[in-house]
Structure 1
Amino acid sequence: MTGSGFIKVQGTQLFRDGKPYKVVGVNFWQGMNMGAIEEWGGDRKRLDTELDELKSLGINMLRIMASSEGTGDEPFRMKPCLMTAPGVYNEEIFRGLDYLMDALSKRGFTAIVTLNNQWHWSGGFSQYVAWVTGDKTIPYPPSWDLKTKAYTTSGSNDDFVAYGNRFYTDESIRGKIDAIYKANIDTIINRRNTITGLVYSQDPAILAWELCNEPQFPPAWWVDDIAGHIRKAGVSQLITTGIETKYHQQDFNNAHASSHIDFCTSHFWCENWDIYDPQDKTDQSLEKTKLAVTEFMQKVTAWSQELGKPHIMEEFGMARDAHLGEKYSEKTSTTRRDGYFSTIFKVAEQLGAEGKISGTAIWAWGGQATASAQANQYGVKHIGDPPHEAPFWYSVLSSDESTKEVLKTHAHQFL
C-alpha cells in the first residue's frame, strides 16, 4: 500500500500522509453489484481478478456508485438496485458495496464514491421525482434498446433533464425529495462495513464523497446545502460535486465555490459534444479533438486555481476506430483512442508537475466483458458502458493491450 491515511487538501493539491497524492483512475460504477454474492447477480471472482489487473497497471483510484434507485423493473437501470423504495434497501447489494470497499482497501486503492445521478441508468434524480410525484412513467431520453440494438427515438435529452432537475427546481416537491436524499446519504455514510467493521464515514479508502454524477446546472445553494449536510455528519473524507464542467465558468463556480467542496471535477465527452467523429477516415477530427481537450484541461485547471482548489478530470472516453470496423464491437481497434488518451495524460503530466492537477480517470473499465458472455439472471453483463448506452462504446477491456500499456506508462510517469 502507498498510504493509509485520509486524503487531505493543501492549496491546490491533494496530500496523503504528508506527501502529494495524485490519482490515475478508472470509472468502475458496476463494482457495487459485482461485489454482491452470485445469487444476487454478483461475480466476486471476476471482480477480484479485475482489481488485481488494474493494480498491475498502476491504477490507484476507482470512481464508483454507492447508490442506485428503483424496483428493478424499470428499463435502462443498474440491477438489482440498492434502494428499492424511499428508505428501503436491498441488504445484499449493500453487502456488495462492503465487499468492494474491502477489496479496494486491501489493494491500496482509493475511491470517489458517488451518491446520486443526473442520468437514469442508476435511477437518480428522475427516480426521486417519480417516487414523490407518483408518476408511473419517466420521460427517458434516447437509450439503447438491447432487442433492436439501436437507440430509441422517443423522448428528448432536454425534456429528461428538465424532469430530473425538478429534484431542485420544483418547490412543490423539493422538500420531500430533499428529505429522502439526505436520509439516503446518512444511511450510506453511517453504514458499518460488514467485512472491515469500519463506518464508511471513517474509511480512509474513500477519497471523497461526490454529490451526483453530472448534475446539470446545480444551484450554488443546493451544492452548499448537500455538501454541508455531509460535512456536518462528521465524515473524515473530502467532498466534491461531480459536474462535467460542460458549460460556462459561472456554472463551474456554482458547483465548486462552496467552502464544503474540497476539489473541482470535470468530464470531457468529445463525441457526445459533437467535437469528434469516429467515422472520419482522415485524422482531421482526431487532431481537432486533441486540441480541444488540451484547451479544456488548461481552462478548467485555471478556473480551479482561481478558486484555490485541486482539479480531477474524472471522466473521458473515446469510441473505437469506427472508420476501420464496427463502432460497438470489442474486436475493433483502439489506435485513435490510445492516441487521445496519451494526449490527455501528457497534459496531465505537465500540469501535475506544476502542482495544478491531481489526476484523471478514464471512462470506463469493462475488464473481462465480452459480447458473447452470458448475462446474469438480471440480464446484466457488467460492461463499462452503462445500461442506457451501446455496449462496448467506451469500455476499456482486459483484451485492449495497447490501451492498457498507455495507462501503465502514464501511471509510471505521473505517480
Structure 2
Amino acid sequence: MACLRKLSCILGLIVLVPLVCEARVLAPSGFVQVRGTQFILNSSPFLFNGFNSYWMMNVATEPSDRIKVSNVFREATAAGLSVCRTWAFSDGGDRALQTSPGVYDEHVFQALDFMISEARRYGVRLILSLSNNYHNFGGRPQYVQWARNAGVAINSDDDFYTNAVVKGYYKNHVQRVLTRVNTITGVSYRDDPTIMGWELMNEPRCQVDYSGNTLNDWAQEMASYVKSIDNKHLLAIGMEGFYGDSMPDRKQYNPGYQVGTDYIKNNLIREIDFATIHAYPDIWLSGQDENAQTAFVQRWMESHLADAEAIIRKPLVFTEFGKSKKDADYSISTRGAYMNAVYSDIYNLARNGGAIGGGLVWQILAEGMESYDDGYEIVLSEEPSTNVIISQQSTKMKSLERTLG
C-alpha cells in the first residue's frame, strides 16, 4: 500500500494532482444515522468512545500550531476515540470566524476546513456546535450585542431566542457553515460524512423562562431550518439535560435548580435526532463529597436514558463529563475512579440494550497548550494512567458494537 501511495503521488505531478490529498485520507464512509433509539452506520450498530476539543479551529488559525490539532487526532485514534465534539463558531473578538453579522474571515474558515480534513484523515467523526450560550468565543451575548449596535431594542441576552433580527443572524451562520465547501477536501460540509452531526448551541439556557417553552420554540424553528439545508446529518440541541415543566416529577433529578430547558419536551422536536446530557457535579453540587457527586451522575444518566428510551425514543449521548484538577480532593486516582464509574455506567447501560451511544470526555489537549487549561484538561501523551482508562473504554465499546452487530 505504501508503494502504491508513493507511486500515485509521483504520477500526480503529471496528471493526478487533485488526487494527491485524497490518497492520504482515511475518509469515513457512510453517514451516521438513527434507527429507533440506536445509532446506525452502514446498517450496523454504531457505538463509540469520544472526546471534546473545542479549541481546534481557534488553534488552527495559526499554521505553525496546526500540528497540535493533528497530534490530538493521532493520539485520540491511538486510544480508540472515534468521535470528537468541537466548535464551528467564533463570533467577534480575537480570531473570529464571524467578525460581524454575515461577515466571515476566510483565513479562519480555512482553519475549520483543516480541522475537518484532519478528522477525516484520521477517521474521526465530528459533532460540530454552531453557537455558544456563553460569551466565550462570542456566542449568544455577541449576537444580541450586534443587534444593539444596529439599533435594535434588546432587553437581555435571552432576546436571542425571540428577536427576529438576532434569529436572522443565527440562521445566516447556519447557512454559511452548512453550505461551506471545504478548500482542502473539496466536499461541502453538508455532504461530508466525517461530520456525525450538528448541535444548535452549546449548553443553551434561558433565564426569562425556566419552563423550557421559550427555548423550545427557538429550537423548533432552528431545527427545521437546519434540516431544510442539510437532511443528511444528525441534529441535537446541545443541552445539558435539565428537566423542565412538561414532567414536573422529573425535576427531582435536577441539581436543585432549572436553567430554562426541558429535556423531555425539547428533545421531542421531530427534527432533533438525538438527546444529550452533560454533568459537572463538582460545580453543580459544590461542597458535597465524592460519593454523593458520583451517585448524582449515576442517577442523572439512568433517568435520562430511561426517558430517552420510553418517552423521547431517540439515542442519548453523554456529551460532556470530566473531573477537575482544581477540586480540593483531586488526584489522578480520584479522577481515574470517577472516569471508570462513568465509563462503566455507559458500557453497562449500552450492553443491556440501552439507548446510549457513547460518552465524550471533557477535554483533550495537545502538549504545550497550557493557556487552554481549565482544570479538566487531559494530555494523553503525558497522562498514561488516564490514557489506559480511556483506551480500555474504547475497546469495550467497540467490542460491544461488534457483538450487537
Say yes or no: TM over 0.5. Answer: yes
Is 2:226 aligned against 1:230?
A: yes
- Structure with higher Rg: it is 2
Q: Distance in 2 between matches of 1:65 and 1:122?
A: 9
Which residue in 2 is equivalent to 1:215? Answer: 204
Question: Does the CA-based 8 Å contact 1:111-1:208 persist in structure 2?
Answer: yes
- Describe the SS at the equivalent of 1:191: coil
Deviation at 1:322? 4.3
Which residue in 2 is equivalent to 1:166? Answer: 159
- Describe the SS at the equivalent of 1:261: coil
1:290 partner amino acid: T
Structure 1 stretches of 4+ with a deviation exceeding 3 A read 247-250, 321-324
Residue by residue over 1:79-119, the C-alpha shift from the partner in whole angstroms, topping out at 9 and shown as x without a partner, is: 31110100111111100000010100111110101001101
Q: Distance in 2 between matches of 1:392 and 1:177?
A: 30
Which residue in 2 is equivalent to 1:335? Answer: 333
- Describe the SS at the equivalent of 1:177: helix
Unaligned runs of 5+ in 1: 73-78, 137-161, 278-284, 328-332, 372-380, 384-390
Is 2:376 aligned against 1:359?
A: no
Distance 1:321 1:127, change over 3 A: closer
- Describe the SS at the equivalent of 1:9: strand
**Alignment TM-score, normalising by the size of structure 1:** 0.79
Q: Distance in 1 between matches of 2:196 and 2:354?
A: 18
2:367 partner amino acid: Q
Which residue in 2 is equivalent to 1:56? Answer: 78
Which residue in 1 is equivalent to 2:320? Answer: 315
Deviation at 1:226? 0.3
Distance 1:276 1:411, change over 3 A: farther
Q: Distance in 2 between matches of 1:29 and 1:220?
A: 25
Q: Distance in 1 between matches of 2:324 and 2:73?
A: 23
- The number of residues matched between the two structures is 345
Which residue in 2 is equivalent to 1:16? Answer: 41
- Describe the SS at the equivalent of 2:392: helix
Is 2:179 aligned against 1:190?
A: yes
Q: Distance in 2 between matches of 1:178 and 1:22?
A: 34
- Describe the SS at the equivalent of 1:201: helix
Unaligned runs of 5+ in 2: 1-25, 206-211, 247-261, 399-405
Distance 1:321 1:67, change over 3 A: closer
2:117 partner amino acid: D
Deviation at 1:355? 3.6
Deviation at 1:293? 0.7
Is 2:130 aligned against 1:115?
A: yes
Q: Distance in 2 between matches of 1:321 and 1:184?
A: 35
Which residue in 2 is equivalent to 1:303? Answer: 307
Deviation at 1:275? 4.6
Which residue in 2 is equivalent to 1:267? Answer: 278
Higher helix share: 2
- Describe the SS at the equivalent of 2:126: strand
Q: Distance in 1 between matches of 2:31 and 2:298?
A: 31
- Describe the SS at the equivalent of 2:156: helix
Question: Does the CA-based 8 Å contact 2:326-2:375 persist in structure 1?
Answer: no
1:48 partner amino acid: S
Q: Distance in 1 between matches of 2:363 and 2:234?
A: 23
What is the CA RMSD across the aligned residues, in angstroms? 2.0
Question: Does the CA-based 8 Å contact 1:114-1:209 persist in structure 2?
Answer: yes
Deviation at 1:26? 0.8
Q: Decide which moves more: 45-54 or 246-255.
A: 246-255
- Describe the SS at the equivalent of 2:142: helix
Question: Does the CA-based 8 Å contact 2:71-2:366 persist in structure 1?
Answer: no
Residue by residue over 1:335-363, the C-alpha shift from the partner in whole angstroms, topping out at 9 and shown as x without a partner, is: 21111111010000011111420011011
1:67 partner amino acid: F
Is 2:292 aligned against 1:288?
A: yes
Deviation at 1:65? 0.4
- Describe the SS at the equivalent of 2:181: coil
Out of 386, 390, 395, the position equivalent to 1:407 is 390
Question: Does the CA-based 8 Å contact 1:37-1:92 persist in structure 2?
Answer: no
Deviation at 1:53? 0.5
Distance 1:2 1:287, change over 3 A: farther
Q: Distance in 2 between matches of 1:264 and 1:239?
A: 9
Question: Does the CA-based 8 Å contact 2:282-2:293 persist in structure 1?
Answer: no
Which residue in 2 is equivalent to 1:156? Answer: none
